[in-house]
Structure 1
Amino acid sequence: MGKLTGMVAALMIVLSVSFLSSCRNNNDFFTAKNSLKYSADTVWFDTVFTRVPGSTYPISVTRIFSIKNPEKLAVNANFQLGGGTNSAYRMSIDGISGTQINDIEIGALDSVFVFVQCKLEANNNTQPLLVMDSIISSVGGHQSNVKLAAYGWDAHYFRDTIFESNITISDNQKPTVILGYLGVDQGATLTIKAGVQLFASAQTKIYIAGTLDIQGTAAQRVSIRGDKPVWDPQFLPNQWGGIHILVGSINNSIQYADITNAAIGIRVDSLPVNGTTGLKISNTRIQYSGQASLAGITADIQATNCLFADAGSYSFLGLLGGNYAFNHCTFTEYSGFSSRTDGHFAATNTLRDGNGKLLNHAPLNLTVFNCIVDGPQKEELQFDQTTFNDFNIRLENNLLKSLNPKSIITYPNFFNKTPGFVDVQRGNYQTDSTAFGYKKAGTFGSPATIDLLGKTRKPQPDLGCYEKLP
């Protein structure tokens, strides 16, 4: 027993020594100065919508920066927001969140990551207002800081809203933010006036059972896009669902609008009743959609001076027939959002399952005049037809990237020439001095006297939605 007692005592001594040696002495920390290195002097959030009254929405995206300890000893650092508990910002370090975070150990030559969000209160201004703060670090009583900056923008909000009677959105000073769905019931009209800016959240889809009337002008275009009002995400698709014009909707009109970042920019279902139109769209840009810029299912669409560009799969998709008329439009896809190998301009009088089995068919009437269809593939057109129904297409006087599959195109066109776009990588499809379509438009249908931007066209206009830059 005495021998066992001695072994236990020896073991306890060893464990005690081990435990004591594992405890860091405060003298082991570097405290001579605050030499922490920040990966950014200022953390910018650009523009953030201010908070909905009585709600925690919206919260900004999360910004991340790192703090490095350049010393050969560890440091023990304290962090706090300059605005304290009243700050519009929140931070998280090493899994700890708050306005003040203490005793964060940063090893020698090691780093920690800081996660920051902001939630801004309404400021009663029509223009974004700068809101600043800082994260203050303290090492051994020595302080340094990194600045935080965001522009807060007051907005109007609609959340999960259905309009059962006529409504007009006209305030072009403050943006309008849509949270969740927005619907227009049958018999009601949603009018959007010139200069209005609509921002749609990730869950947003706009459903039109009644009528949509967008009244932009050349000087004050209407903008509908994802709700991250910063530059970079403008090029990102699938930020919101898009506009869905439902069966029974009539007399929809869109003029001078920019519709971007959706999954499907505009989808139109079914032919309207006799004496009405489905969708007339002019001087409008639909760009950076995840799946399609414009899609119709047995639909009625008339488009003039429009750009349908940079969608993952289709600039235009017309399924199961319908009536489509395009004049002076540009269809192109250089986004790289998908690894597509098929053409991005597609029209059919069929509906097939995944195995190609014919499920349904309907008559197709398609006219395309003075347009440009271009892209990186050798074949950018797709047609599928069945003899069980009408397949009437007339493509004439267009610039087409196509091998003319099955000799479907029988009218005169220009094939496989360089359009002369200014910058496809930046989505600029205006044409420069190399434009092949310069002064090559014909007078088919209703000649366009202006281009997408409202610029007066020449007596002998250019192909596509833009007149060539001077």
Structure 2
Amino acid sequence: MRQSLFIIPILLITLLWCSCRKDFQYDTSSGNLEFSKDTVYLDTVFTNIGSSTYSLKVYNRSNSDIQIPSLRLAQGNNSSYRLNVDGVAGKEFENVPLMAKDSLFIFIETTFDISALNQNEFLYTDAILFDEGPKQQEVQLVTLIKDAIFLYPAENADGTKETLLLGIDEEGNEIRIEGFLLTDEQLSFSNEKPYVIYGYAAVASEKTLNIAAGSRVHFHKDSGILMGEGASLNVNGTLSMDTLLLENEVIFEGDRLEPEFSEVPGQWGTIWLAPGSTNNTINHLTIRNASVGLLVEGNSGLNPPKLSISNSQIYNSLSINIWSRSSSINGENLVLGNAGNGSLVCENGGVYSFLHSTIANYWSNGFRSGAALQISNYNEATGVSGQDLSASFINCIVDGNTFLELSLMSDQANSFDFSFTNCLIKFKDTNNQFDTNPLYDFTNTTYYNNIFLNENTDFLNTAKNDFRLGNSSSAIGKADPGTAFLVPIDILGTDRTSEPDIGAFEFIAGGQN
């Protein structure tokens, strides 16, 4: 026993001494490193905007502990790439240890200023060099840098950002958001360079923001466009020949260009047509990944309507694609796709007309509480009485991945006039909870004419917001021909005057891809 007590302290001392040794023996790297990839592609970024962080894994497959004599960027300290090697930031490293059968992580970022090159796009490259001379190995770095026009609030003397006054709350306090007024020189967006907006870009009274065909507008987090009293928005997209490139479409989306952000909802705020804005027209516009695609408020009695929108798609909004409050909208050839609540919400009354529109919500990013189409003449959240409502839907699809995709709510204090003609509607009242509600009496021709209830839409790919019609769609050939002549071309430019289909898309036999 005494002998054991004597041996234990000696073992502890030996272990402690070994753990403190700093003189491990390393072999010099022999040029046999292996890598998780031979080229690191950093996805497209805007000039002077930092990229996401990308990783490279370096493997030592040998049975020996090795030391990499040098690990550096080929352009050295002049490189616009930045490295982090196992937790240490820099651009040049010496004697990097790598144990046998082990690996190390290298994290890579870049920020590049393209302004001096007089180019709208520039492919920027460099390389990570491991060792030198005959044993040197390398991994290429590649990223596309885009030039852009940046619009943002000014910075005040105290370091705060410029703000816009929205109104006064019940306690007399100002309501403000970070934003700025566009100058006259900034009111015509072109397709020469993309635009990147920080905060809310507002348009002054009696001014019009014109956006040319092919324009690309990117919004930073919590940013958007605000059309105030007397201001107008004019989006002038045109039909594109390439359905993937959409060269003539106007596109509103977030400012993160990496593929992993392409379908992330809620990356930016909204296009806000505030009370008092007038004569807003939109043609061939795609809005994606907003919090609310279009927020349309007030002016329900306008003629022409507050908003005329055609040949446009809005999808992947965190909340609602089009949210209208006591307003007026004429829409045709619209696709209002997946959203966290409703695809189209018209509340507090208003005047609405939708022709050949596809309103379909197959949201899969979590629980969805709202129907694809929601219509009311009051504010459900507050219960406050709203205004009279008039809504007409002809040759439209109302569909989604829940049983009840149509919600109608009337306070009976205001008129509630609506009609659906030659529409395909999903409303599966499996619990018979709406049997006695006259608003859902689909045999009442005051509200419903030639309705196709709970039939197969057969969309091509609802997860990707592709609501073109498949071979088995019940929407094929069932549209009202007279209305089809009012909108003779579908959203993709296909003629619909012969045996027209319900919704924004005409079915093309054998022509889908």
Please state if 1:319 is matched with 2:347: yes
Contact 1:122 1:154 in 2 (8 A): yes
Q: Which moved more, 1:157-166 or 1:424-433?
A: 157-166
Question: Is 1:182 aligned to 2:174, yes or no?
Answer: no
How is 1:427-438 mapped onto 2 (pairs within 5 angstroms)? 427-438=465-476
Q: 1:75 aligns with which of 62, 66, 74?
A: 66
1:216 corresponds, among 213, 237, 261, to 237
Structure 1 letter corresponding to 2:126: D
Runs (4 or more) in structure 1 with deviation over 6 Å come to 14-17
Q: Secondary structure at the match of 1:202?
A: coil
Q: Give 1:331-370 correspondences, 5 Å limit.
A: 331-353=359-381, 358-370=383-395
Alpha-carbon offset, residue 31 of structure 1:
2.3
Q: CA deviation at 1:164?
A: 5.4
What is the identity, as a one-letter code, of the residue corresponding to 2:87? Answer: G
Aligned to 1:384: 409
CA shift in 2, pair 1:218/1:150, >3 Å: same
Between the aligned partners of 1:125 and 1:454, the Cα distance in structure 2 is: 37
Q: What CA distance in whole angstroms lies between the structure 2 residues aligned with 1:421 and 1:20?
A: 67
> Do the aligned residues in 2 keep the contact of 1:235 with 1:261 (CA within 8 Å)?
yes
Can you list the C-alpha shifts for 1:153-194, whole angstroms capped at 9, x where unaligned? 111121134125485434313212212221112221100011
- Partner residue in 1 for 2:424: 399
- Structure 1 CA distance, aligned partners of 2:484 and 2:37? 58
With normalisation by structure 2, the TM-score equals 0.81
**Higher deviation after alignment, 216-225 or 160-169:** 160-169
Q: Name the residue aligned to 1:241.
A: 269
**Of the candidates 135, 143, 152, which is equivalent to residue 136 of structure 2?**
143
Shift of 1:19: 4.3
Check if 1:425 corresponds to 2:463: yes
2:121 alignment partner AA: P
Residue 393 of structure 1, CA deviation: 1.2
Asked if the contact 2:120/2:148 (under 8 Å) is kept, the reply is: no
Distance 1:426 1:274, change over 3 A: closer
**Which residue does the alignment assign to 1:111?**
103
Q: 1:294 to 1:138 in 2, by over 3 A?
A: same
- In structure 1, runs of 5+ residues without a counterpart are 1-10, 52-57
Q: Which amino acid aligns with 2:37?
A: A
Q: Which residue of 1 aligns with 2:56?
A: 65
Aligned mate of 1:260, from 288, 296, 299: 288
Give 1:61 shift.
1.4
1:98 corresponds to: 90
Q: List alignment gaps of at least 5 residues for structure 2.
A: 1-8, 154-179, 241-247
305, 311, 334: which one pairs with 1:283? 311
CA distance, structure 2, for counterparts of residue 76 and residue 317 of structure 1: 63
**SS at the partner of 2:344?**
strand
Q: Does 2:512 correspond to 1:462?
A: no
Deviation string, structure 1 residues 430-462 (Cα, Å, up to 9, x no partner): 113222212211124972111112332233321
Partner of 1:54: none
User: Could you tell me which residue of structure 2 aligns to residue 8 of structure 1?
Assistant: none
Work out the number of aligned pairs and report it.
449
Distance in 2 (CA, whole Å) between partners of 1:348 and 1:213 is 28
Q: Does 1:22 align with 2:14?
A: no
- 1:373 is aligned, of 392, 395, 398, to 398
- Alpha carbons of 1:169 and 1:271: their partners in 2 closer, same or farther (altered >3 Å)? same
Q: What's the offset of the Cα at 1:199? A: 1.4
Q: 1:159 aligns with which of 152, 165, 169?
A: 152
Paired position in structure 1 for 2:31: 34
